Structure 1
Amino acid sequence: MSAVDTSTPSAVLPKAVPLTPGRVSWQREALALVVGFALLALLPLVITDSYSRHVLIMIFIYGVVASNWDLSLGYGGVFNFGHLALFGIGVYAYSLLTKLAEMNPWIALVVSGLIAVVAAVAVTVPILRLKGIYIILVTFGFAQLVMQVILSQSDYTGGTQGIVRIPTVTWFDHNMVRDAKFAYFYIALAMLGASTVFLRALVRSRTGISIVALRDNEEYAVSRGISLARQRLITLAASAFFTGIAGAFYAAYQRNASIEVFGMSLATIILSMVLLGGTSTIYGAIIASFVLTVFSESMADFGAWRPIITALLIIVVMLVYPSGIMGMLKSASRWMTRSRNG
């Protein structure tokens, strides 16, 4: 008697199904990231005037702050309206460390990021078990508290006058002040690149998956063993590090610290970038920082009409594509794919 053939015909073998349909492999994403930042690195060869480079540097700073806010707001679902306070803490931490403590500016950049993380942990403790409007109130109150502390310690922080002539970063004997912002451009670009790689690696990891699971279905995620307190702490602490470094670099670049960094004007701009770009993408906030900043600068001659026109642009995009610019790009990509396939 012949042996029974127990092999399964290839026609009935189950097809491999991706765990997350539509998700780009990390190899392709890494390649796209390298190409994208390589192209950005070539911009100073084309853009030689200092003002245009200044605009690009501010875009990179905004991109870091907005993309890190997207981690807590978009992926974590935590309405952390104290995020800009972390940026302000980075500004003043760097200013005090370099001007009063005379710390090396490069070390002060990293230490400022760590101080922002400590501040994020401090504000996370009261909101571990809170939801919705209560998180907004506590985090907004935290931002106001930090601002009042800075105002009250005017002997060190300058109060409403701020701090001026802050030591900047140096690169051996290179004069960074007179190189048409060439060096500052690459430092800001490196900061944006490091922040983006960190954020994307985090959201693609098991930790990132658990953060999203808590956002989408908190009760079910907790029942499966995910710690709400631990993941919320990780989310806010992770979003604080590069935000603090961005604030420190902002202080080093502008060479002054002002209480205006805690104002609603800057918070509105950064939040607009997060929403316009599309939440839960990281890349959307960075792209939106380019779009909004360049669009706003191009309308400088419109005076008081400039913020109105910018607001109308945001409203129109959000009405047509609630998922923002990234949703628009994904729709365009799907349309082009269907067109090629017939």
Structure 2
Amino acid sequence: MNSKSLKLIYNNSILGPIILFAVLFCIPLVSSSNYLFSILTMIGFYALVCIGLTTLTGYAGQISLGHAAFYGIGAYSSAVLTSTYGLNPWIAIIIGALISAVVALIVGIPTFKLKGYYLALATLGFGIIVYTLFKEFSSITGGSNGFFGIPPISLFGYEFITDKSYFYLIWVFVFFAILFTRNIIHSRIGRGLRSIEGSEIAADAVGVNLMNYKLQIFVLSAIFASVSGSLLAHYVSFINPDLFVANTSIFFLIMVIMGGKGNIWGSIVGAAMYVLLDEILKHYVPLLLPNVGGQFEIVFFGILLVLTLIYMPDGLVPRFEKLMSKFKKKTPTNGALQSTISVNATGGDNK
């Protein structure tokens, strides 16, 4: 696949997701490993969160370190509403998304008056507060012991209880999230977001409503995180506050930066890189370094983040596109190749 094909896929709002979806749906034809499906399912969960976070960070230029809170709000909303009150999981997912949207709106109004590091610290503080609430309201959330017995999702009588079935489910959500997000990016709202990311002063000078645009994209990213958290709760059937600590928000941001914060496809690439590297660390680090504690993961990904920012500040996907462009420039086109052959055949210039 040459750079022209990649550019066509990138610019087309429907072609790229369709190709991705087709490739993923071919995987069951070549493998039936539950482990493989569980890995791809986790990539899907993280990719759904990162798609929303990419629009916020990469296109609006706003750094959030509190998305684990919305991830957890979706998970606990679905868990409590389905297990305690007997609601349908689909209704619970929608309610959880609405709760996250309202919370994002309430938090975003004062928070987005801040800029830079102050904004990041404010969202980090919000995430810590929500994590504490999950832990302390044990009568509702189960506290540190966790919440058990979350029912599976069903659709027209079919229950999503296997890794393979959930693999299909989560990637359908990712597919539509990509379509929806790319439509926003290529719309008037997307142009406004890019102007904010470039210069808030210039954007404000040409009439862009900074607060309105920031709040809209923050609410959208919160909804994506909430839906992903709800789907996760029904997938694992057990959740506890440790799934939604501040480190989780940091890992989400690392995924976005590794893949490419200005590229929707970077969300999927970053999520895949994180899940695969995390699996390698869990399996091989205890064998090679048996005395290393659980904090090795955050140290490793912290170092990886620093290296990415130094050597690949745009992430993996833009770097791959640049390499493909350079490769095409070095490869002579058919016209150039024929001209070269013609010159060689005539012995160069006819003097």
Q: TM-score range by the shorter chain?
A: 0.7 to 0.9
1:212 to 151, 172, 194: 194
Distance in 2 separating the partners of 1:268 and 1:80? 9
1:111 to 78, 95, 100: 95
Aligned length: 319
Contact 1:70/1:281 (CA < 8 Å) preserved in 2? yes
Partner deviation per Cα, 1:221-244 (whole Å, 9 max, x = no partner): 112111111111111011111211
Distance in 1 separating the partners of 2:257 and 2:156? 40
Classify 1:55/1:232 alpha carbon distance in 2 versus 1 (closer, same or farther; 3 Å). same
Contact 2:66/2:246 (CA < 8 Å) preserved in 1? no
2:314 to 309, 320, 323: 323
Classify 1:229/1:149 alpha carbon distance in 2 versus 1 (closer, same or farther; 3 Å). same
Aligned position for 1:149: 133
Output the TM-score relative to the length of structure 2: 0.84
User: How far off is 1:98 after superposition?
Assistant: 0.7
Counterpart AA for 2:310? L
Partner deviation per Cα, 1:166-197 (whole Å, 9 max, x = no partner): 112013444543xx422111101111111111
Classify 1:40/1:127 alpha carbon distance in 2 versus 1 (closer, same or farther; 3 Å). same
Contact 1:169/1:252 (CA < 8 Å) preserved in 2? yes
Counterpart AA for 2:316? I
Distance in 2 separating the partners of 1:31 and 1:168? 32
What percentage of residue pairs aligned between the two structures are identical? 27
Classify 1:217/1:268 alpha carbon distance in 2 versus 1 (closer, same or farther; 3 Å). closer
Give secondary structure in 1 for the equivalent of 2:261. coil
Classify 1:32/1:137 alpha carbon distance in 2 versus 1 (closer, same or farther; 3 Å). closer
Aligned position for 1:17: none
Aligned position for 2:346: none
Aligned position for 2:181: 199
Aligned position for 2:73: 89
CA RMSD of aligned residues (A): 2.2
2:149 to 165, 171, 189: 165
Give secondary structure in 1 for the equivalent of 2:61. coil
Contact 1:47/1:53 (CA < 8 Å) preserved in 2? no
Classify 1:81/1:227 alpha carbon distance in 2 versus 1 (closer, same or farther; 3 Å). same
List gaps (5 residues or longer) in structure 1: 1-21
User: How far off is 1:309 after superposition?
Assistant: 5.6
Counterpart AA for 1:330? E
Partner deviation per Cα, 1:131-153 (whole Å, 9 max, x = no partner): 12221222122112212222332
Contact 1:72/1:79 (CA < 8 Å) preserved in 2? yes
Aligned position for 1:243: 225
Output the TM-score relative to the length of structure 1: 0.86
Classify 1:155/1:296 alpha carbon distance in 2 versus 1 (closer, same or farther; 3 Å). closer
Q: Are 1:302 and 2:293 counterparts?
A: no
User: How far off is 1:123 after superposition?
Assistant: 0.8
Contact 1:128/1:228 (CA < 8 Å) preserved in 2? no
Distance in 2 separating the partners of 1:200 and 1:115? 24
Aligned position for 1:129: 113
Classify 1:219/1:173 alpha carbon distance in 2 versus 1 (closer, same or farther; 3 Å). closer
Contact 2:83/2:150 (CA < 8 Å) preserved in 1? yes
Aligned position for 1:72: 56
Distance in 1 separating the partners of 2:73 and 2:182? 24
Distance in 2 separating the partners of 1:230 and 1:185? 36
Aligned position for 2:41: 57
Contact 1:71/1:235 (CA < 8 Å) preserved in 2? yes
Partner deviation per Cα, 1:64-99 (whole Å, 9 max, x = no partner): 112211111111111221122111111111111111
Alignment of 1:26-45 (within 5 A): 28-45=12-29
1:261 to 206, 222, 243: 243
User: How far off is 1:256 after superposition?
Assistant: 1.3
